[in-house]
Structure 1
Amino acid sequence: MSEICGPSLEAFVPDDLTLPQFILDSSHSLRPIRPSHVPWFIEDASGRGVGHEEIRARTYGLANGLSLRFCVKENDIVVIFSPNHIDYPPAIWATHRLGGVVSCANPANNINELLYQLNAVHASLIITHSSSLHTALGAAQAAGLPSERVITFDESNQITVGTLIQQGLQSEPNFVERRLRKGEAKTKVAFLSFSSGTTGKPKAVAISHFAPIVNVIQMAEQQKVNKNYAPWEKQRFRPGDVVAGVLPFFHIYGLVLGIHLMAFCGISVVVIPKFNFTEFLESIVRHSINHLHLVPPQIVLFCKHPAAKNYNLDGIRFLICGAAPLSASLVDQLVKILPNAQIGQGYGMTESGATISMFSVDEKLGVPGSAGRLVPGVVAKVVKDDGTLAGFNEPGELQVKMPSVALGYLNNEEATKETFVNGWLRTGDEVIIREDHEVFIVDRLKEIMKVKGFQVAPAGLEGCVLDHPDVSDTCVVPISDSYSGELPMAFVVLHPNAVKRIALDPAEVERVKASITKHVADNKVAYKHLAGGVEFVDVIPKNPSGKLLRRVLRDRARDMVRLRSKL
């Protein structure tokens, strides 16, 4: 198999606009007209909607306020350290209006983790939330950033975003927003987004203004936005639709798809600060949400949580899952719960500027187990361990060329050279691409186990374990073995019914473990059996995008093996 080309990108892509100029100030042939009564964002708790003119005003007011109060200027770094908030997008766009760079931080970070990010990007200002304020102030102090340069979205003892907006709107302009030169959007940094850190220390990925702009257009073209390709009721992205903005905005998935693609498509985003499944179900009904952007752990809840049966979810007409592979068996279960929805997967990463592939608009259901097809403008190749190109249906590392690819890692030339090679982005993901160009993500290459010389993908085993009725969630990791090299061990979160049975009869623990082990043995080849055992845990650690923090449980498994060897 030689290089595989996605469809050519036919639509015009401006390369002299900043992101807010593209989203807030411009029109495009693929961009539908949003009816004036359709809000851009909706506050989940209050139901308050914010329309185009208010968004533009709040963005300008905050930009002017930041310029007046803090002299934020070209290339200054503003860190946004907060759960999703209705002013999160204006905070991004206000910084960009000033020529600044945004670095979004995980609100679950502790002081040391946030400090690492502040120091890495040389932050000049932090925008946070009262729920994260203690951590923000602690990290700011350790970084030598005055507490006055920590502001909040909501009421607190700090300066608030609302105060700055009002100051900015009531004052004379203190900045001049410049127009980029032709081509400059491709090199001017908009975001310093941190990689997930699932396999090591997070790295700051430098993403240009052009990257999210072109990626939005790539997705819009592939998904036939603003095209009358089907009757209105069957079209996928329609102005006036409502999407759940529950994915964290700091993550590339929520940032590009959740904010910018939805704004481009005229779809209202219900801004949900924190994911709680039953409250999420209530939000779906309350706001008549019909689009869902989810990650596999949330899909598991739809399939396994008893509360899902108590809500009418027939209004859901589109669901896409990303950030980690989703097993075909889970999709089969999900179809029964959301019978009217178009369901499929997408695939991307921070370094690609978001989406690489997405399930086709021509299918109600994506191909089971597939991450879809390459979006327009992407060229891919699959490279085997020996450096040769894999054929169709042969596994290897996915490498891509695409216009939205990141500029590299900030101040990390070695990592940049390893990942961005001669115009190709090395994804670090093992894939199979079929003759019909469907892309199947096998697993992270660094997470592949070697059992008796055979490669074993944890994601495939996890899908099997999740099929067991007593399992709510799982993560499979390797443990070392002198004979086999490595053996699969499953950490399992039990279904509430199983927990009740164990509470009544402690002997049920071993029966459930044996049942899960047998289930895998009945469905998988011998070298994929759970010879490393089954361990029950209260929760599977994940990052906010839904990726399993496998290294955390891998370390835990290693400690368990050491302890056993001493007994």
Structure 2
Amino acid sequence: MTEKVWLKHYPDYIKPNLEYDEIPLQQFLTDAAKRTPNKIAIHFMGKDVKYAELHEYALKFANYLKQLGIEKGDRVALMLPNVPQTVICYYGALYAGAIVVMTNPLYTEREIEYQLKDSGAKVIVSLDILYPRIMKVFKNTNLENVIVTSVKDFLPFPKNLLYPMVQKKEYGFKVEVSHSGVSHLLMEIFKTASATPLDIPFDFEEDIALLQYTGGTTGFPKGVMLTHKNLLSNVKMCQDWLIEPSPTDDVILGVLPFFHVYGMTTVLLLTVMQGNKMVLLPKFDPETTLKTIQKQKPTLFPGAPTIYIGLINNPNIENYDLSSIKACISGSASLPAEVQEKFEKLTGGKLVEGYGLTESSPVTHANLVYENIRKKNSIGIPWPDTDSMVIDGDIDHETPVGEIGEIVVKGPQVMKGYWNRPEETAMSLQDGWLRTGDLGYVDEDGFFFVVDRKKDIIIAGGFNIYPREVEEVLYEHPDIVECVAAGVPDPYRGETVKAFIVLREGATVTEKELNKFCRENLAAFKVPRIYEFRKELPKTAVGKILRRTLIEEEKQKQIEA
């Protein structure tokens, strides 16, 4: 759009253009520790870590990395869930001038080996239970050292003493690692390392802070190079968008994993930049999350649709006080309108859908949190300093209002490029615009709508069908908890629509009933021809349903048949 028509919706407290301090991300922690050293930075399972302690731990980790020979630009991988050590090592690696490589703790040996080889990481920090997995691939990578920690290291008494028994019961084994050779214990490092500040040269525009690997839904995962400028600008935008006009002392709930860039920006970075408290949960469990909300009273709760779905369908939700929640931005997948309405009714807070990609640090669009301007199923409007449009093929061919094309974005949060992949970088970044690969449209008010990813379009009998449209209808059915629509091979139509359904516990719904329901709400060619009921759907660690996995399963079934 030549004119940013969406700016007319901006309230007075959100500025279209922001000022960004040209500082490294770790300066957030330095400043917070100086301002409020005795304030709680992290709450984890009953234990508190103050800002002064967090700062000291991070500096000790940084100095130890220097002892191990880590220089500016070297990669340090973190393979951890949401525990205090993740925050410590993230900022510590940045203090040392290293590039952080976030690695999913659920990765298999093959996936770990690929990511470590591709990034060239020299050091990895992991949980003790993951140590055997890493050591199996150690020789096939550039790794020189492994730093090991345990969940119990930051648990309060007596949980720290009981944890080894819990670990053995849950995983079937207990790992003992000694502080010698290429293996190092994080708690031993904290006993001996110096907390002296390091002086590392810094370039705001060019220095990479993070290598964040894409999900790899198409081909091999790619390392997205996010600079200090990219991440700082996006977290500053997040602050302007998410924080109330009259800010209070927020408490931010960290359920989204930090190895996903959305959790990193909206919790790990935003909390420290503001000097707030983050409440960490190492994994999402509905009952534990509800108890934590009632006890810790978080005000901000970034999440994914599956998290909110899991909560609103918990039979005990009415027994918990969730009134502390003021604002939630849902990301990583489309947010069904029914889920939004139910969650807001239960909490009294605001839940809005946002949009972004790993390549944009990640947020580019969102609905306004504190203003009553909403359009059903919209991802909202572009954030400050962010431009967006819908194109038909080429960057120069913008589609008319209301017509479907590819959404492209431009702004200071857009990546530097893909690690060691200049050709793919050139395909994704054109004239400063990031091609998202998502299909959508923009209306006359500047609100954007995603209809689906290019690769997910179902072409049945010559008709284009967007899975999200089918899913939105299915989610309106009172007995459906989760669903996904996908195109599966069909000898007559080329493809046909199949719906994978997870029903509410105790519910009984037939294919015939669902077919009738869909026909009342969808054009006949969009109605699913096949329904499959499942207990659960395959998901990524952040809760994004893996449509592609289901499609591959279907193809395999047909081959075997």
**Displacement after TM superposition at 1:536 (Å):** 2.0
Greater CA drift, 115-124 or 462-471? 462-471
Aligned pair partner of 2:30 in 25, 32, 36: 25
Aligned letter for 1:352?
S
Asked if residue 205 in structure 1 is aligned to residue 224 in structure 2, the reply is yes
1: CA distance, partners of 2:38 / 2:72: 35
**Displacement after TM superposition at 1:144 (Å):** 6.0
1: CA distance, partners of 2:266 / 2:374: 18
2: CA distance, partners of 1:35 / 1:157: 36
**Displacement after TM superposition at 1:223 (Å):** 4.3
2: CA distance, partners of 1:560 / 1:485: 17
**Displacement after TM superposition at 1:559 (Å):** 2.5
**Displacement after TM superposition at 1:188 (Å):** 0.8
Question: Over residues 448-471 of structure 1, what are the superposed CA-to-partner deviations in whole Å (9 max), with x where a residue is unaligned?
Answer: 111222221112212222232332
Paired residue secondary structure (2:293):
helix
Asked if residue 177 in structure 1 is aligned to residue 199 in structure 2, the reply is yes
**Displacement after TM superposition at 1:224 (Å):** 6.0
2:359 maps to what in 1?
351
1: CA distance, partners of 2:376 / 2:322: 22
1:248 maps to what in 2?
257
Aligned letter for 1:238?
T
Aligned letter for 2:82?
N
2: CA distance, partners of 1:114 / 1:484: 40
1:160 maps to what in 2?
185
1: CA distance, partners of 2:372 / 2:267: 21
2: CA distance, partners of 1:361 / 1:329: 17
Q: Is the 8 Å Cα contact of residues 397 and 429 (structure 1) preserved in structure 2?
A: yes
- Aligned pair in 2 of structure 1 residues 133, 538: CA closer, same or farther (>3 Å)? farther
User: Identity over the aligned pairs, expressed in percent?
Assistant: 27
2:169 maps to what in 1?
none
**Displacement after TM superposition at 1:101 (Å):** 0.7
2:41 maps to what in 1?
40
2: CA distance, partners of 1:56 / 1:354: 26
Identify which of structures 1 and 2 has the higher relative contact order when contacts are C-alpha pairs closer than 8 Å and 6+ apart.
Answer: 1
Superposition CA RMSD, Å:
2.4
In structure 1, runs of 5+ residues without a counterpart are: 28-32, 230-234, 502-510
2:479 maps to what in 1?
470
Aligned letter for 1:549?
L
**Displacement after TM superposition at 1:281 (Å):** 1.0
1: CA distance, partners of 2:40 / 2:510: 49
1:550 maps to what in 2?
547
2:97 maps to what in 1?
99
**Displacement after TM superposition at 1:203 (Å):** 0.5
1:220 maps to what in 2?
239
**Displacement after TM superposition at 1:129 (Å):** 0.9
**Displacement after TM superposition at 1:430 (Å):** 1.3
Aligned pair partner of 1:13 in 10, 20, 23: 20
2: CA distance, partners of 1:4 / 1:325: 24
2: CA distance, partners of 1:396 / 1:477: 20
Question: Over residues 356-403 of structure 1, what are the superposed CA-to-partner deviations in whole Å (9 max), with x where a residue is unaligned?
Answer: 012224415743322222111111121024762112222211111101
In structure 2, runs of 5+ residues without a counterpart are: 8-14, 154-175, 179-183
- Aligned pair in 2 of structure 1 residues 425, 380: CA closer, same or farther (>3 Å)? same
Asked if residue 238 in structure 1 is aligned to residue 248 in structure 2, the reply is yes
Asked if residue 333 in structure 1 is aligned to residue 342 in structure 2, the reply is yes
Question: Over residues 54-77 of structure 1, what are the superposed CA-to-partner deviations in whole Å (9 max), with x where a residue is unaligned?
Answer: 121111111112222x12221111
1: CA distance, partners of 2:372 / 2:349: 7
1:89 maps to what in 2?
87
Question: Over residues 36-62 of structure 1, what are the superposed CA-to-partner deviations in whole Å (9 max), with x where a residue is unaligned?
Answer: 66422111x12x222221121111111
TM-score (norm 1): 0.87
TM-score (norm 2): 0.88
**Displacement after TM superposition at 1:3 (Å):** 6.2
1:424-463 equivalent positions in 2, closer than 5 A = 424-463=433-472
- Aligned pair in 2 of structure 1 residues 292, 438: CA closer, same or farther (>3 Å)? same
1:561 maps to what in 2?
558
Paired residue secondary structure (2:112):
helix
Paired residue secondary structure (1:80):
strand
Aligned letter for 1:220?
Q
1: CA distance, partners of 2:18 / 2:230: 15
Question: Over residues 505-544 of structure 1, what are the superposed CA-to-partner deviations in whole Å (9 max), with x where a residue is unaligned?
Answer: xxxxxx622222222222111111111x011223211112
Q: Is the 8 Å Cα contact of residues 458 and 477 (structure 1) preserved in structure 2?
A: yes
Aligned pair partner of 1:186 in 193, 196, 205: 205
2: CA distance, partners of 1:364 / 1:167: 54
2: CA distance, partners of 1:410 / 1:432: 30
2:382 maps to what in 1?
374
Greater CA drift, 453-462 or 101-110? 453-462
Aligned letter for 1:311?
Y
Q: Is the 8 Å Cα contact of residues 225 and 415 (structure 2) preserved in structure 1?
A: yes
- Aligned pair in 2 of structure 1 residues 72, 288: CA closer, same or farther (>3 Å)? same
**Displacement after TM superposition at 1:166 (Å):** 2.3
Aligned letter for 1:167?
T
2:157 maps to what in 1?
none
Asked if residue 394 in structure 1 is aligned to residue 403 in structure 2, the reply is yes
1: CA distance, partners of 2:253 / 2:434: 31
Aligned letter for 1:490?
A
2: CA distance, partners of 1:497 / 1:189: 50
Q: Is the 8 Å Cα contact of residues 343 and 365 (structure 1) preserved in structure 2?
A: no
Paired residue secondary structure (1:273):
coil
Aligned residues: 525
Greater CA drift, 463-472 or 360-369? 360-369
Aligned letter for 2:61?
L
1: CA distance, partners of 2:518 / 2:264: 37
2:512 maps to what in 1?
514
- Aligned pair in 2 of structure 1 residues 463, 134: CA closer, same or farther (>3 Å)? farther
1: CA distance, partners of 2:31 / 2:356: 26
